[in-house]
Structure 1
């Protein structure tokens, strides 16, 4: 592939995502305190190449970052910093596409399991799955992973390292060094101040082991009359409550604590899994919410999470005929991602899939999953199957070469990811 710095790609990128900042671009743009190609990959004190861990998990905007504006009707970012723009422009196409991937690291895999994917496929983000025991092991693994984010692999831009640390039964990080975070239903019994303080403490535990993104809080509302019959959420008490008001109050308190503790939060599973019967991870049927509309009160917790500063919104793989009459699954639906989430709700941040290798979508070839998701307005493809990565990156690259409109969407997605990493302190300029 050719360099993204070619005049044609630069012109297309500029047309897709104009910058509202005046003045010259900042010089010396790149990842914050990242390793170079000769970095040691040995585990150490939780930092890359012996440096202090960058303030990567601090979600406060950096001095060079501008506030984001409302998205355009096409879902493209319309106002980002010069630093984010310059960093994105400097990536090769391979490195740019790698920023759109988050790959699962299973607890049973050897520490070097993802090294080749990061080096060769330029994977820019990782999620811990499978239940990891003990802070020391997670910290050593995070150190090793960040050491792979070299100049040749990711342009020196650190990885988003994520975990599902909701509480209750959904805690990927357990054992010594990690609190027994209660379920969302129990968290909701705390006052907002108490929950924010508790979440800030839990975030500190994540930050200490190199985790900079929590794929939480759950902002799905499960009606009382459905309760545990809702397999993905209610069965495991993952919901904060049975009314949108209860969910909104508790989820935003949790989110606020995560952000104050230096870990970026994620609201999920847009536009809501509280009314479906079956779990999309394991089923292809019983995954339709026939009630949701654009005026659905169950959207309120998501809107509140966006306003409270969530850097990511995870989109489900369920079907919502009241939102998309074609019954296209949410992660592949432009009416749901671009029109509703980005347009109506005004979210200009990073949209991430629920597992794009879930049974609900597995019958669709991995290549088509990847391109259809980007066409719908999404950004990061989260996959529990590392072997699917080459097919997805090739499909994105091939379609971007052949379709200038698609290339524009890819460029916009990459810029949103880089802007998020800048907000978190992973990308700095100057």
Structure 2
């Protein structure tokens, strides 16, 4: 190998080692949820390669080889690679320990705290482990759970989920999904594909009312959901559309999902939509409070702030939430992870006692179920204390349901933190009791 080639090769190996190190530091991130076993296999292979090359380089150094600098860089890369692999296994060991503690904790306490969680799943052993212990309130079903299944097979899958989590009355077993229509329709196909409700409302014919169109739309959707066994739909989107354009937003895309830029239209359509779901026994979820139609950054990938004042929001973005909060369909409200700096500059809405208690519970007198958006999002995962601290904060704030859908493994981190806080007396007993009453009357 030429001197130049040796320098380039060793530099690239060091770069690879640094990238691997970054990966190792974030090993248990939700980003790897879909391919964690493959990622671990690749990590071991890469680390082995780097260590092997480093050993060879060490021999060259001892032999007084002319290319001492490239050899030294290679040794450094190997050391970084080995250290990174140690970090990966340390993180994995910590996760397995938390999982063991959770699954072997006091069954009564685990079931009691488990009523605060709706979780996704990627394999049946996960469902069985939690189902046997009644450690969650329900399961979230999405695209990867139904690949290749027809309606009959999905119905059997959901029936199995319910059987695994057969709990005594008065607790409900929740089977949730995201079936908004349009670009977010996790069970289509096999359920009928519907255009986004906002698009349908833009194309009203003369004589058609907003309510009648939204009601018919929801009834068609609810029929399919109820036939499968779904009883909680994470829809409708009641964020008012402010045409915010963030080219880097790959996940939220509110302007493609919002019902309208007019709060009155949103309120009428969402109310009729929830009524249509309720007729079929499917609960609706108003999302994403406090309204993220004005928010530029995407909480899937980073912290985001809604800087508008509460006075302005009361007149626009909050109007649909507040008017529908006491609707006969008993909607749930989903809390987003944005920060309202004028009310709580430190905590996102989904974990803020100020927002939950002072605004929603006291000012709005909302005594229904409050549910978080997915806790696997970066706005939660990257916050101080991560998912564990956020879970404790949310429960103490008076939030009833925590959604952990994208990366089910994060449940163990969340529940471990909750059990630890309970043991140390850091959970608010009054808030827990109030939440129990709300959840059981559902």
Q: Residues 380 and 387 of structure 2 are in contact (CA less than 8 Å); yes or no, is this contact kept in structure 1?
A: no
Which residue matches 2:103? none
Which residue matches 1:137? 153
* Alignment counterpart, residue 310 of structure 2, candidates 293, 296, 308: 293
Q: Does 1:200 align with 2:219?
A: yes
Counterpart CA distance in 2 for 1:117 and 1:213 is 20
SS at match of 2:354: helix
Distance apart, 1:207 and its partner CA? 0.6
Q: Does 1:170 align with 2:184?
A: yes
Counterpart CA distance in 2 for 1:412 and 1:372 is 16
Q: TM-score, normalised by structure 1?
A: 0.69
Distance apart, 1:205 and its partner CA? 0.7
Which residue matches 2:133? 120
Distance apart, 1:121 and its partner CA? 5.9
SS at match of 2:310: coil
SS at match of 1:328: coil
Which residue matches 2:26? none
Which residue matches 1:13? none
Which residue matches 2:420? 398
Which residue matches 2:267? 248
Counterpart CA distance in 1 for 2:300 and 2:422 is 29
Distance apart, 1:247 and its partner CA? 1.4
Moved more, 112-121 or 411-420: 112-121
SS at match of 2:370: strand
Which residue matches 1:72? none
Distance apart, 1:141 and its partner CA? 1.0
CA shift in 2, pair 1:245/1:146, >3 Å? same
Distance apart, 1:188 and its partner CA? 2.5
Q: Residues 102 and 127 of structure 1 are in contact (CA less than 8 Å); yes or no, is this contact kept in structure 2?
A: yes
CA shift in 2, pair 1:266/1:92, >3 Å? same
Q: Determine which structure has more spread, i.e. the larger CA radius of gyration.
A: 2
Output aligned runs, 1:16-415, within 5 Å: 92-105=108-121, 109-120=122-133, 122-130=135-143, 132-133=146-147, 134-151=150-167, 157-176=171-190, 178-189=191-202, 190=204, 191=209, 192-224=211-243, 226=244, 231=249, 233-234=252-253, 237-284=256-303, 287-294=304-311, 296=313, 297-308=316-327, 309-324=329-344, 326-363=345-382, 364-384=385-405, 385-403=407-425, 406-415=428-437
Moved more, 405-414 or 202-211: 405-414
Tell me which of the two structures has the higher relative contact order, counting C-alpha pairs closer than 8 angstroms and 6 or more residues apart.
1
Q: Residues 121 and 393 of structure 1 are in contact (CA less than 8 Å); yes or no, is this contact kept in structure 2?
A: no
Distance apart, 1:95 and its partner CA? 1.5
Deviations 1:226-249 (A, max 9, x none): 367694554561101112122112
SS at match of 2:334: strand
Q: TM-score, normalised by structure 2?
A: 0.67
Which residue matches 2:81? none
Q: Which is richer in helix?
A: 2
Which residue matches 1:70? none
Which residue matches 2:95? none
Deviations 1:287-338 (A, max 9, x none): 21111415522100101221223431100001111332x2421111112111
What's the Cα RMSD here? 2.4
Counterpart CA distance in 2 for 1:405 and 1:235 is 35
CA shift in 2, pair 1:175/1:113, >3 Å? same
Counterpart CA distance in 1 for 2:348 and 2:262 is 24
SS at match of 2:325: helix
Counterpart CA distance in 2 for 1:233 and 1:241 is 16
Distance apart, 1:401 and its partner CA? 3.9
Distance apart, 1:381 and its partner CA? 0.9
Q: Residues 325 and 366 of structure 2 are in contact (CA less than 8 Å); yes or no, is this contact kept in structure 1?
A: yes
Distance apart, 1:209 and its partner CA? 0.4
Tell me the matched-pair count.
320
Q: Residues 369 and 439 of structure 2 are in contact (CA less than 8 Å); yes or no, is this contact kept in structure 1?
A: yes
SS at match of 2:237: coil
